[in-house]
């Protein structure tokens, strides 16, 4: 039972860090990006459909669908990498690997 409470506390802390608007040059932001990528990578599907439809019109729907399916895997794997390597400044300055930085960045 104590493990569940500790996990819930760690998850809550991670979510707070992800939504605080921390600068992209901190380990906390890299940790938040990793957590967001691992848990919300499925947002790549609708996000890529939106992006490609804005760029190409209705033809962008199947293109965005295909890109989104592929990017789900990429976002999840990069999320694990960023989550585990958060204390280390790799790439230099804790820069994000993927753009948009967070999975919900397509909808802004």
In this predicted structure, what is the pLDDT of residue 22?
45
Torsion (CA) 26, 32, 38, 41 in degrees, nearest 10: -100
Per-residue pLDDT at 108: 85
Q: What is the pLDDT along the chain (108 residues), one digit of tens a residue?
A: 666 756 555 565 555 555 555 455 799 999 999 999 999 999 999 999 999 999 999 999 999 999 999 999 999 999 999 999 999 999 989 999 999 999 999 998
CA dihedral 62, 96, 22, 39 (to 10 degrees): 50
Paired tokens of 40: 């919300």
């Amino acid at each position: 039972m104590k493990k569940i409470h500790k996990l819930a506390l760690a998850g809550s802390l991670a979510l707070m860090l992800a939504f605080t608007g921390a600068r992209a040059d901190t380990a906390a932001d890299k940790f938040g990006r990793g957590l967001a990528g691992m848990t919300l990578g499925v947002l790549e599907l609708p996000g890529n459909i939106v992006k490609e439809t804005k760029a190409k019109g209705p033809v962008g729907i199947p293109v965005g669908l295909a890109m989104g399916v592929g990017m789900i895997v990429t976002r999840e794997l990069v999320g694990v990498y960023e989550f585990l390597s958060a204390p280390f400044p790799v790439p230099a300055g804790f820069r994000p690997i993927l753009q948009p930085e967070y999975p919900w960045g397509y909808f802004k």
